[in-house]
Amino acid sequence: MGWDVDQGERGPTMAVKFLSFLGTGDYKECRYELGTRRSSLTRFVQHAILELLEETRPTEAYIFLTPEAEEFNWIATPKRGYPGLSFALSDLRRTKPLEIHTVPIPSQQDDDAIWTSFHAVLSVLQPGDRVVFDITHSMRYQPMLALLVLHFARVLREVQLGGVYYGYIEKLGPSKQIDDIPVEKRIAPVVDVTALADLQEWITRTYAFVAAGRAEPLRQWVKEARTRAPSSWQWAEELTDSWSSVTAALYTNRALTIPDTARRAAKHLAEAPKEMPPAMGPLRALFEHANRSIAPLGSQDPVESGLAAILWCIDHGLIQQAYTQTRELIITAVGLAFGLPVQGKEERDRIEELVTVAQKFAANPRNRKPLENMTYPRDRDLVFTLSRHTGLLNDFDEVRKLRNDLSHCGDTHSPAYFETWLREHMPVVKEHLLRFWNTRQSRR
């Protein structure tokens, strides 16, 4: 079968690999065009693409052959009357450094054959490889299999995509019509369909961001994809960088920076449709979906923004962050409501102390000792006013206890209890906090 692929153990190759299925058709001679480059006269699109690629020049070629494809188009046979692809690639090797391998695949169409083909393609890909896929002669399930293998390898083996191409000889017309065209005038385009594979990655990784709240995998993939076309991917890098900033702020409880990062992300989301290529049009619906989860975080109202961040954390499984941010949001709301500085550890500790005093006074209004021990009359007024919001004070106390239990590896409650408590009680906490906040805002 010509050159046989080595199926043994390999280390990381970091190679640029060309993958293609060879069919059984009676292929017509023509020249192929890719961008401004034109190939030599050939019957085989594989030969043409390997000849035309410059920026991502493969160093290894893997041709997947059914027994019929080997007989009709890999080697020279009387049935065809012309040399097979093996001879065309031999000529190419004289001018380009290229390792050529063949990989047998079954011609059957049952489940076993499909998965045998899947593993055959996957077996040639190693971590760090850069892959160029020709799908011109992929038949029946093979185009879907090619995209599936690419997606699988990109996730599991960090394989990078160099391009997906289709030789569009059908543009010249039916086979009999092509015969009537002089050979030198047969010019067929090679269509770059890489955007289809990229779209699949966008869908998967954007959904992971929306559902799981992790933007970093998408951001890293975009950085890798941008190496193929730096200018056309700038919008995507700016967008995913902004998403990553939002999620980093949420994961690390940077509550005071969340609104600004969310507004920047919303801005990039709004601008993305103007910059993205037409092939990425379906992403608009995904981006709108993502924006619905980000936009509330950018509210100009600090309490509304903080509540949105807490709900985002709950929805994305960030339970400890949700408790911490609830505690800190109540402190921020009290400080802002009474005109106190809210940035800095000492300032926030002071607000928390006032909340604690207010809670004690609310629990026993007859005991005025907590008020009498306060130095500043303004603090006494604050505590007295705040003590009327017993619901909010009780919420703060419970959240503080549960947050401490989480942070200090307590064993008072089961793991499921913490999320259950949030989902059951957060609507009430939100109601108490907004009632306090709106009441104070109306008096300022």
- Position 49 scores a pLDDT of 96
Query: Using CA atoms, how far apart are residues 29 and 178, in angstroms rounded to an integer?
Result: 9
Residue where a domain stops, chosen among 157, 192, 227: 192
Q: CB pairs under 8 A, 24+ apart, for 372-380?
A: 379/354
Residue where a domain stops, chosen among 247, 268, 298: 298
Low-confidence ranges of the chain (pLDDT < 50): 1-13
- Position 14 scores a pLDDT of 67
Q: Indicate which CATH number applies to the domain containing 66.
A: 3.40.50.10640
Q: Are residues 133 and 233 in the same domain?
A: no
Q: Are residues 168 and 220 in the same domain?
A: no
Query: Using CA atoms, how far apart are residues 408 and 438, in angstroms rounded to an integer?
Result: 34
Residue at 10 is within a domain:
no
Q: Are residues 279 and 241 in the same domain?
A: yes
Q: Are residues 216 and 335 in the same domain?
A: no
- Position 444 scores a pLDDT of 62
- Position 307 scores a pLDDT of 98
Residue at 323 is within a domain:
yes
Q: Are residues 142 and 207 in the same domain?
A: no
Q: Are residues 290 and 325 in the same domain?
A: no
pLDDT (tens digit per residue) in 202-226: 888 888 888 888 888 888 888 887 7
- Position 10 scores a pLDDT of 41
Show the domain range for 89: 16-192
Q: Are residues 352 and 230 in the same domain?
A: no
- Position 78 scores a pLDDT of 65
331 and 320 in contact (C-beta within 8 Å)? no
Q: Look up the pTM and report it.
A: 0.76
Q: Are residues 234 and 353 in the same domain?
A: no
- Position 38 scores a pLDDT of 96
Residue at 308 is within a domain:
no
Residue where a domain stops, chosen among 151, 169, 192: 192
pLDDT (tens digit per residue) in 109-125: 888 988 999 999 999 99
Residue at 310 is within a domain:
no
Residue at 305 is within a domain:
no
- Position 133 scores a pLDDT of 94
Query: Token match 């996730």: residue?
Result: 155
213 sits in the region (left: phi over 0; alpha: psi -120 to 50; else beta) called: left
For the chain, the maximum distance between any two Cα atoms, rounded to a whole number of angstroms, is: 108
Count of structural domains, the chain: 3
Residue at 333 is within a domain:
yes
Q: Are residues 145 and 212 in the same domain?
A: no
Residue at 25 is within a domain:
yes
Q: Are residues 339 and 278 in the same domain?
A: no
- Position 375 scores a pLDDT of 72
- Position 7 scores a pLDDT of 38
Q: Are residues 56 and 181 in the same domain?
A: yes
Q: Are residues 395 and 253 in the same domain?
A: no
Residue at 397 is within a domain:
yes
